[in-house]
Amino acid sequence: MELTYLYYFKVIAEKENMSRAAETLHVSQPALSKTISKLERSLGVTLFERKKGRISLSPIGADFYRQVARAFDCIAEGQRLIDDYKAAASTSVTIGCPVAELLNSLLLSYLREHQQETLQISQFLYSPEMLQQQLLNGKLDFALTPIPFHNPEINQFKLMDEEILLAVGRTHPLADRHFVRLADCKEEKFLVNDASFDRRAVIDNCRIVGFTPNITLCSNEPRIIDEALESGQGVSFVPANVFYSKYQANNPVVALRFSDIEVFRFISIVSRKDRTLMEMPKKLYNFAVHFF
């Protein structure tokens, strides 16, 4: 029983005239009559009574029409719900990132360039594990992350490589240098900002040059790391863009480049493979690709 046949039946029942129904449906009258005959044969009942050129519902046809009309009302309501969802989705974006600085710089730049747009942006500072889960659950349109995902259901597109510097307080013995050997930092206390650079990466890079770092503090709160740096309690890996956007001249923290190893993190944009982005999420996604 095809949906088209049922729709034709509904229109004929409402028009009570085969010619007018054929005109409404933009089909020929013989083709419409043939379709209704097929429907009646498939159901095993007579839906219409035909007398002297007039057509009207049979008793079972009238009962059947009420159910068919109700079904099409449900379909129409479903279409209205989808239209409402698409209208709302077209002006809203949900985006996640474990690094506040990355997300903030992107969104501020976008809003400055698109001041006339009506856009509702919901941003979430999820951990990498939560970020992946929320993507797969459909709670996020897309996300930015410095942490690689290894999931066949997620698309990951690399946006840029970012150099990592060594941040120290101005009172630190290394503060007057421009370069430093990571191998010479084996006695230092490492302060790991887990929100902007992965703890695992700090350990791996230190081991490459021959030592295991003494990590005395690991926190997702940037201000805690900043205060520890400013008071000379240790050193920290910091992404170059984060450092130069946060600190100005005469600040209490300085950054040194490594001379014996290149340390980078990569920023990528991730989305669920089977998710089709609506107009505004897609626009912000494309903006992020060009921005970074």
pLDDT number for residue 225:
87
- The CA angle 106-97-153, to the nearest 5 degrees, is 115
- Tell which wins on pLDDT, 40 or 79: 40
Average pLDDT over all residues of the chain: 86
Provide CATH 1.10.10.10 ranges for the chain.
3-78
pLDDT number for residue 177:
93
Tell me the per-residue pLDDT of 30-52, one tens digit each, with 9 for 90 and over.
Answer: 999 999 999 999 999 999 988 87
120-124 and 92-96: which strand pairing? parallel
Query: Which residue type sits at 253?
Result: V
The residue assigned the tokens 């594990």 is 129
Tell me the per-residue pLDDT of 87-99, one tens digit each, with 9 for 90 and over.
Answer: 655 567 888 887 7
**CATH number for the domain running over 92-158+267-291:** 3.40.190.10
pLDDT number for residue 196:
67
Helix axes 3-15, 18-25, angle to 10 degrees: 130
**CATH number for the domain running over 3-78:** 1.10.10.10
Tell me the per-residue pLDDT of 184-213, one tens digit each, with 9 for 90 and over.
Answer: 999 999 999 876 667 888 999 999 999 999
> pTM for the full model?
0.60
- Tell which wins on pLDDT, 78 or 83: 78
E strand or H helix at 31: helix 29-43
pLDDT more than 90, % of the chain: 41
Helices and strands in the chain: count of H runs, count of E runs? 10, 12
Provide CATH 3.40.190.10 ranges for the chain.
92-158+267-291
| Structure token digits, residue 243 | 């450092």
So what's the architecture of 162-265 in CATH?
Answer: 3-Layer(aba) Sandwich (3.40)
- With cut-offs at 50, 70 and 90, classify the pLDDT of residue 165: very high
Provide CATH 3.40.190.290 ranges for the chain.
162-265
